[in-house]
Amino acid sequence: METAIWQEYDGNVQVIGIINTASNNQLTNFVEQNSITFPILFDPGSPGGVQGGDTYDLFYLPNDGSPYPRDFIIDQNGIFQYANNEIDTEWMLYVLDGLLSNNIVLGDINYDGLINIVDVIMIVNIIIGELLPTEYQSSASELNGDGEINVVDVIVIVNLILGE
Ligand SMILES: [Ca+2]
Ligand SMILES: [Ca+2]
């Protein structure tokens, strides 16, 4: 996080750490051991242990473990583009590069670097109104350039997957 993102993107990406321990020693040790220079904020609602806090509660997903540690990427419009409770720097860099270059990969609706069945399901969900697409998802779903997202785009994406 420090070297691969904060230092590498040098002001183009804001990195913020959120921590829910009230122990200054623990925080100082962590910052020193990892040579962290990006800001670290304290989760204000935390009772001081390693559980709870306003942010913690907001991003707690039942049956998905603790929200700490978890990495999020929020785009220029304030929309979450990435959430992961495992560190995957390669994937984070891919998402960040895409956001910074406004790079639209036609057919890669969930922007994971692959065009596959997951993208087909997403585009079908957009068509039937189950998924309200983000700006990126709309652009990536409009494969044949006729201004509409419909079954024709599903056929195009399936053909892409089949390599036809
Ligand atoms: Ca995809
Ligand atoms: Ca279309």
Per residue of the chain (164 residues), what is the pLDDT tens digit?
Answer: 888 899 988 878 999 988 877 777 888 888 899 899 999 888 887 776 666 788 877 877 666 666 567 888 998 878 888 988 788 999 999 999 888 877 788 999 998 889 999 999 999 999 999 999 988 899 999 999 999 999 999 999 999 999 87
CA of 111 to the centre of ligand 1 (A): 5
Answer yes or no: do 86 and 127 share one domain: no
Helical spans, DSSP H, in 112-150:
117-127, 135-141
Answer yes or no: do 56 and 93 share one domain: yes
Instruction: Tell me the residues surrounding ligand 1 (ion) with CB < 5 Å.
Output: 108, 110, 112, 114, 119
Ligand number with the minimum distance to the CA of 152: 2
Full residue range of the structural domain in which residue 132 is found = 117-162
Answer yes or no: do 89 and 30 share one domain: yes
Per-residue pLDDT at 127: 97
- pTM, two decimals, is 0.59
125 inside domain: yes
Answer yes or no: do 92 and 45 share one domain: yes
Answer yes or no: do 11 and 47 share one domain: yes
Question: Residue 108 class from Cβ within 10 Å (0-12 exposed, 13-18 middle, 19+ buried)?
Answer: buried
Per-residue pLDDT at 25: 83
Ligand number with the minimum distance to the CA of 110: 1
Answer yes or no: do 37 and 97 share one domain: yes
Answer yes or no: do 88 and 8 share one domain: yes
CA of 126 to the centre of ligand 2 (A): 12
**What total number of domains does the chain contain?**
2
Per-residue pLDDT at 76: 80
CA 6/CA 71 separation, integer angstroms? 13
β-pairing, 40-42 with 17-19? Answer: parallel
Close Cβ partners of 16 (under 8 Å, ≥ 6 residues apart): 38, 39, 40, 41
